[in-house]
Chains A and B, each alone.
Chain A
Amino acid sequence: MPHIAIRNLNVQCGDHQILKDVNCDIPDGCIVAIVGPSGCGKTTLLKSLNRLLDLNEDAKIQGQVLLDGSDIYGESSDVLSLRKKVGFMAQRPYPLPMSIQDNVSFGPKIHGLPDTSHGMVERYLRLAGLWEEVKDRLDSPAAKLSIGQQQRLALARTLAVEPEVILADEPTSALDPISVKIVEHQFRLLKSQYTIVLVTHILRQARRLADHVIFMYSGELVEQGPAESFFAAPKDERTRAYLSGEIS
């Protein structure tokens, strides 16, 4: 399992400093939750970890993100294998314009993985808790799924490329309570094999799932620590205010 370390990460869009000197070590083999009010830079931080931020022409990125000691922004880093290793689930699901089945097998196919079979598709759809709902229409366009189904399809799609790290941006924001339970359960099962970084708005979800919590506030990493101590004894004033619901 790879180890992620963020060193002096600054992200700027035009005049707007989105991330301010973020430093942290993401412990591997557990679930890390990034919490914080809307617009504080959670998505940006997550996207910086697999260089999706590169797509944004305005974003100026400074600092280092070390994956097992080597800087992903360094010269020798290969962005395609990085993104295969570090999977990303977007805040808003976007089904690829193809069938449900092809959505799952797309990643394995482009990476030339040995197994692109129907069985593989089934396995990952089951993992994401979507199989039962779609098993009879695997060939129909993925865009016809409901938003919640699309979100779970995105999870299946992400898992299918066999990443080692999963970055998930509010992966349950469009799900009903039962699907949330299924997906959260999957994350708990997955964490023995993956490093999982999860952005969430919902403090209760962070309490339920996270082993480690990072609190962001207007672009700064304010506080981080093991979930227990983070929730029981926050050190920073702003964390306390956030946890008590005074800022949101």
Chain B
Amino acid sequence: MTQTKGAVAFRNVRKTFGSFTAIPDLTLDIEPGKLVTLLGPSGCGKTTTLRMLAGLESPTDGQILIGGDDVTRLPADRRDVSMVFQSYALFPHMRVGQNVAYGLEAGGMKSAEARKRAEEALELVGLSGLAGRLPAELSGGQQQRVAVARALVLEPQVLLLDEPLSNLDARLRRKVRTDIRELQQRIGLTAVYVTHDQEEALAVSDTIVVMKEGKVAQIGTPRELYESPASDFIADFIGEANVVDGRVLSVEGDVAQVELGGVTLPLPSRGQSPGPAQISLRSNALKVTTDGTGIKGTIASSAYLGDHVEYEIDGPLGRIFVVDDESDTPLPSGTAVALEVRPRGVALIPGTA
């Protein structure tokens, strides 16, 4: 069993609330030691999935396995997982140290021993010496780390995090997410991380599970999702792509010749056959030139943002959104331009003929 410790599996899990089906049929495997992100727009069922894993919500149908054991009917307090809540849920009437020791004492540990372990856990998250404070006496970032320490100290098989950064300000968010990722890798813990922020997901994950309306839309590494989105939804959701119409002219082996706004380029075919197709075009996949060759267009609007310039450009592909991070003087609206296509950041979307 040791090799499966930390592994998580959902088998045909369904969850309904009254007549509303939140999760129609979910099957998902999570490898031990990995940080897996559940990513998707608000209301797509991420929290519900996580809560079912924690045992706070029971599936209407199907099976959930943790470390190879079926835990579907096991109550939350008997599961070997722990959770960091969006609101942290620190007990306001207990000191920080008591909060962290709470789970250990619940497991029957002597309170002196539990205090010691709690102190160690606090040290791990960089909060040593604050055990005597009340949660209300900490800053938002510190509270967040207490919540993490309280979960980690139990050495669970799986750590669950539900939008752990959503109550922090932008600057802090970047730092804390790196800290969490570092900690997770250091301990080698399986973690399931819920977020609706694609940048956060790209930054921390081994694997991203994109969800839509309770279903898995695509699973992959950050790179796979970014470079070969499986649908226009993913293409748009991960890294703001333009989804445009093109045409597959011919396919040879893995390479397709694709016509796109008057230019032809070779792309991985991804199982497409000749005919009309949708293409995902990253905003930085196009180089804006006034004298070169490529897709013709006219600048509709431009915005100068310091280290890059954002354009909206009208042309044969409709209005598209382009980021130019090379020039630093924005071209005025109405300028006729040619868009050179760089192969990186352009992908055929399969199954969209």
Q: Are the chains A and B members of one assembly?
A: no
